[in-house]
């Protein structure tokens, strides 16, 4: 189950199919009760809040989810929770109120769990004690195919933005408060290096947040913003404009934006977290340039592109799919 529009799902479900799994997509919790499957894989439990915003509506969604999972287990299925987040991002009051109940209930119901990095399994066990004694595995978030921008399109886009041979730091993707973009803008403005440029492209969380970001960036001609929903080709080109992706994310478990940047051959400057630390151990310090504490102008100035291409073989769909299938079989 999960949001069909998110690019993660085609990548992950394609990996399962490549490993020989037959995938049945369920978009509503209410339909779970009617599915006959060996494994019920639960995604994005926080969707219940988007589908029903009243307390009673959310309660009905959660009840349907848990009842459907229980009925599937009675038919012989194993319930696996794919834990994307410890807590929902930018949580509203209703989410903060209900989330602890939902996560405890899901953890108790689940037969096992998956995270999207070998480095986050222990984080989930600590945060969700009801999963601590249950089988769990950290699979890498699959790399995105066709993420690279052809050199001619990259050069044309940089020229159109007036970047030329400047060093371009950027963030591309959904731009929401928890992603630290405000900190990135204010820190960049304090960076004196005249050859640095900042490029932010993607859909902001709201019109008010977009206006706030434009205000923060106003007056610094080195900053370019393209705050809108980008098509797949536009996103690929926007990401290709960057020499280094800067992701000042802190309160998160996994990041598809970081995986997308690496898939496009872009080094990432980001805080030291269990997820980024595991990526650095896998790919090396040229690709994951980690820091602790606050983002500083000195860190931005020192960020450098990585040579060549990262070795993304551990993130390939067939590798991830085989590991997932083996975990399912173990249950």
- Bridge-partner residues for 79, per DSSP? 40
State the pLDDT at residue 124.
96
Whole-angstrom Cα distance, residue 29 to residue 35? 11
Angle at CA of residue 11, ends 7 and 12, nearest 5°? 115
The alpha carbon of 52 is separated from its chain's Cα centroid by a whole number of angstroms, namely: 23
Angle at CA of residue 58, ends 52 and 60, nearest 5°? 110
- Cβ 19 vs Cβ 318: under 8 Å: yes
| Domains of the chain, each with CATH number or no CATH | 8-142+318-330 (no CATH), 151-312 (3.40.50.2000)
Q: 203 in helix, strand or coil?
A: coil
Angle at CA of residue 219, ends 218 and 220, nearest 5°? 95
Alpha-carbon distance values, 145 to 12, 22, 99, 136 (Å): 12, 22, 34, 27
Angle at CA of residue 267, ends 229 and 4, nearest 5°? 35
* Beta-carbon contacts of residue 5 (< 8 Å; ≥ 6 apart): none
What would you measure as the largest C-alpha separation in the chain, in angstroms? 65
- Predicted TM-score (pTM) of this structure: 0.92
Whole-angstrom Cα distance, residue 156 to residue 161? 9
Angle at CA of residue 102, ends 99 and 104, nearest 5°? 110
- Bridge-partner residues for 137, per DSSP? 114
Tens place of pLDDT per residue across the chain (331 aa): 434 446 788 888 888 998 899 998 887 777 877 788 999 999 877 776 666 667 787 788 888 888 988 998 998 999 999 999 888 777 677 777 888 888 999 999 999 999 999 999 999 999 999 999 999 999 999 999 888 888 888 999 999 999 989 999 999 999 998 999 999 999 999 998 999 999 999 999 899 999 999 999 999 999 999 999 999 899 999 999 999 999 999 889 999 999 999 999 999 999 999 999 999 999 999 999 999 999 999 999 999 999 999 999 999 989 999 999 999 999 9
- The full DSSP string for 3-38 is -TTSTHHHHHHHHHHHTTPPP----SGGGGGG---S
Whole-angstrom Cα distance, residue 288 to residue 139? 18
- The full DSSP string for 242-278 is -SEEE----S-S--HHHHHHHHTT-EEEEE--HHHHH
Full strand arrangement of the beta sheet holding 78-82: 39-42, 78-82, 112-115, 136-138
How many Å from the N-terminal Cα to the C-terminal Cα in the chain?
19
């Amino acid at each position: 189950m999960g949001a069909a529009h998110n690019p993660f799902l085609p990548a992950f479900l394609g990996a399962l199919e490549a490993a020989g799994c037959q995938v049945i997509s369920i978009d509503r919790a209410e339909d779970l009760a009617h599915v006959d499957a060996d494994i019920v894989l639960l995604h994005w439990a926080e969707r219940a809040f988007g589908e029903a915003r009243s307390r009673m509506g959310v309660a009905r969604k959660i009840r349907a989810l848990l009842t459907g999972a229980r009925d599937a287990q009675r038919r012989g299925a194993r319930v696996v929770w794919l834990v994307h987040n410890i807590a929902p991002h930018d949580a509203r009051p209703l989410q903060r109120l209900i989330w602890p109940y939902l996560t405890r209930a899901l953890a108790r119901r689940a037969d096992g769990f998956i995270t999207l990095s070998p480095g986050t399994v222990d984080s989930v066990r600590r945060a969700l004690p009801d999963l601590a004694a249950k089988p769990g595995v950290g699979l890498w978030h699959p790399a995105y195919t066709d993420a690279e921008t052809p050199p001619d399109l990259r050069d044309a886009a940089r020229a159109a933005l007036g970047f030329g041979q400047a060093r371009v730091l950027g963030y591309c993707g959904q731009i929401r408060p928890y992603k630290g973009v405000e900190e990135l803008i204010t820190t960049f403005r304090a960076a004196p290096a005249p050859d640095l440029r900042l490029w932010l492209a993607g859909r902001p969380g709201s019109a008010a947040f977009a206006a706030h970001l434009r205000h923060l960036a106003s007056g610094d001609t080195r900053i370019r913003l393209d705050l809108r929903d980008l098509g797949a080709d536009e996103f690929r080109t926007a990401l290709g404009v960057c020499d280094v992706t800067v992701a000042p994310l802190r309160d998160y478990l996994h990041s598809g934006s970081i995986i997308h940047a690496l898939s496009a051959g872009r080094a990432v400057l980001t805080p030291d977290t269990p997820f980024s630390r595991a990526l650095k151990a896998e790919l090396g310090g040229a690709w994951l340039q980690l820091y602790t504490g606050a983002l500083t102008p000195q860190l931005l100035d020192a960020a450098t592109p990585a040579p060549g291409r990262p070795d993304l073989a551990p993130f390939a769909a067939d590798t991830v799919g085989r590991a997932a299938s083996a975990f399912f079989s173990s249950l």
